[in-house]
A and B are shown apart, each in its own frame.
Chain A
Amino acid sequence: MALTTQDRTRRFELLAMPHLDAAYNFARWLVGNPADAEDVVQEAYLRAFRYFDAYQGGNFRVWLLAIVRNSFITWSRTNRGGRLVFRPDIADEGGREAQALVWSTAPGDPETLLLRRLDGETLGRLMQRLPDEYREVLLLREVEDLSYKAIAEVIGVPPGTVMSRLSRARAALRKLWLQSEQEAEGEV
Chain B
Amino acid sequence: MKCERSRTLLPMLADRALGPLRRRLLVRHVARCMGCAAELEELQAMQAAMHDRLPYHRAPPGLAARIGAALTLETPPVPARARFRWPAIGFAGSGLAGALAGILLMALLQQPADVRQSLVRSAIDSHIRSMMADHLTDVATSDQHTVKPWLSAHIDVSPPVRDLAPQGFPLIGGRLDYVDGHPAAAVVYRHARHVINLFAWASPGSADAGFRSAQYQGFNVVTWRRDGVTYCAVSDLEADLLAAFARDVARPG
Chain A residues engaging chain B, CB cutoff 8 angstroms: 5, 8-9, 12-13, 17, 20-21, 23-25, 28-29, 34, 37-38, 41-42, 45-46, 49-54, 56, 66, 70, 73-74, 77-78, 82, 84, 86, 88, 102-103, 105-109, 111-112, 115-116, 118-121, 123-124, 127, 138, 141-143, 145, 147-148, 153, 156-158, 163, 166-167, 170, 173-174
Is B60 an interface position by the 8 A CB rule? yes
CB neighbours (8 Å) of A143 from chain B are 50-51, 54, 56
Is B74 an interface position by the 8 A CB rule? yes
Chain B residues engaging chain A, CB cutoff 8 angstroms: 7, 11-12, 15, 17, 34-35, 37-39, 41-43, 45-51, 53-60, 63-64, 66-68, 70-72, 74-77, 133-135, 138-141, 145-146, 149-150, 153-156, 176, 178, 183
Instruction: Tell whether, in the assembled complex, residue A103 and residue B39 are in contact, meaning their CB atoms are under 8 Å apart.
Output: yes
A173 and chain B: residue at smallest CB distance: B46
Dominant SS among interface residues on chain B: helix
Could you tell me the distance in whole angstroms from the C-beta of B112 to the nearest C-beta in chain A? 26
CB neighbours (8 Å) of A112 from chain B are 38, 41-42, 45
Could you tell me the distance in whole angstroms from the C-beta of B84 to the nearest C-beta in chain A? 20
CB neighbours (8 Å) of B49 from chain A are 115-116, 118, 120, 123
Instruction: Tell whether, in the assembled complex, residue B71 and residue A13 are in contact, meaning their CB atoms are under 8 Å apart.
Output: yes
Known A51-B183, A148-B15: A41·B59 in contact at CB below 8 Å: yes
CB neighbours (8 Å) of A174 from chain B are 46
Known A50-B178, A112-B45: A124·B54 in contact at CB below 8 Å: yes
Instruction: Tell whether, in the assembled complex, residue B60 and residue A9 are in contact, meaning their CB atoms are under 8 Å apart.
Output: no
A104 to B216, CA, bound (A): 63
CB neighbours (8 Å) of B34 from chain A are 107-108
Instruction: Tell whether, in the assembled complex, residue A121 and residue B55 are in contact, meaning their CB atoms are under 8 Å apart.
Output: yes
Could you tell me the distance in whole angstroms from the C-beta of A143 to the nearest C-beta in chain B? 6
Known A9-B72, A107-B35, A156-B150: A127·B59 in contact at CB below 8 Å: no
